[in-house]
Structures are given as structure tokens and as C-alpha cells.
Amino acid sequence: MKRIVFRIPATALLAVGMVAICITPVAWLAPGTQALYVVPLGLAWWVLRNRTTVDPEKLLVRTTFGSTVLPWTDVKSIRVAQKGWLAAVRTDDSEVKLPAVRFIHLPALSLVSGGRVPDPTAEPDAEVTEEPVSSEE
């Protein structure tokens, strides 16, 4: 079975490491400020947890604190939300943001969904009719 997983790139963990390094001088100034290390831990959890898994039957949306399973029968459309991010519109018109899925991923989403999501980059099927070329001069 075909499936694709959209996730935040693991290189984002480098930025989380930099945050941890920058917090270190402040975290050791006074007793109790070591709790500041919760910030990079939370960011790392966010990077590792958020993802969207797409297969021919459903969308599985994992967010920081929960998961949502959307069968394709419950998805009315895919909407481009802010800055190229995508959201699934349910049949009741509620929306579910799709973590790590952007407009550029629509062709892959279309392929895995079995065409339930139209591919905006596909060329329309135009019938090509050839007219006979006359050899008159």
C-alpha cells in the first residue's frame, strides 16, 4: 500500500540545540532557572511529533498533543491556508490543519490519495486534433 509521511525536517533539531546552548548561561544563574530547559525540550517534541501521514484510505494528522484520523470520505476539499500550508476541509466545513504539508506537496498528495486531491500541476487532458496540411502553394 502506498503511503507518504510529511514531517518537519530533522534539521530543525539543530535550531533546537542552538536554543538549548543559548539558554545554558541563563539557566545556571540562579537555583530553579534550570526549568528553562523545558523550552528546547518542548520544541524538540514539536519537531518530532508533528506530521501528516497520507494513504489511499485516510489522512492521519499528528499534532503536538493529539491525533486525528480523517477518512477520505469525510474530506470535502483541501484548502490552502496561510503562507502555503494546507488544511483539510471536512464535510461539515470544519478544518484540520495538515502539519508539514505545503502547496508544493499537492502532486504527491494527489498521487497517494488516488486522485481524490486534484493535482494543480498536471496538464489538462486536451484533445489534440491534427488538421490536414495542404500542400498548396
pLDDT tens digits, residue range 57-114? Answer: 999 999 999 999 999 999 999 999 888 899 999 999 999 999 999 999 999 999 998 8
* Position 97 in a domain: yes
129 Cβ contact list (under 8 Å, min separation 6): none
Residue 100: give its domain's CATH number.
2.30.29
- Give the number of other CB atoms < 10 A from CB of residue 6: 19
pLDDT classification of 9: cutoffs 50, 70, 90:
very high
Domain count, the chain: 1
* Position 88 in a domain: yes
pLDDT classification of 136: cutoffs 50, 70, 90:
low
Supply the range of the domain harboring residue 104: 4-112
Which pLDDT tens digit goes with each residue over 102-132? Answer: 999 999 999 998 888 888 887 776 454 555 5
CB of 16 closer than 8 Å to CB of 40: yes
* Position 137 in a domain: no
* Position 66 in a domain: yes
What pLDDT was estimated at residue 135? 52
* Position 122 in a domain: no
* Position 107 in a domain: yes
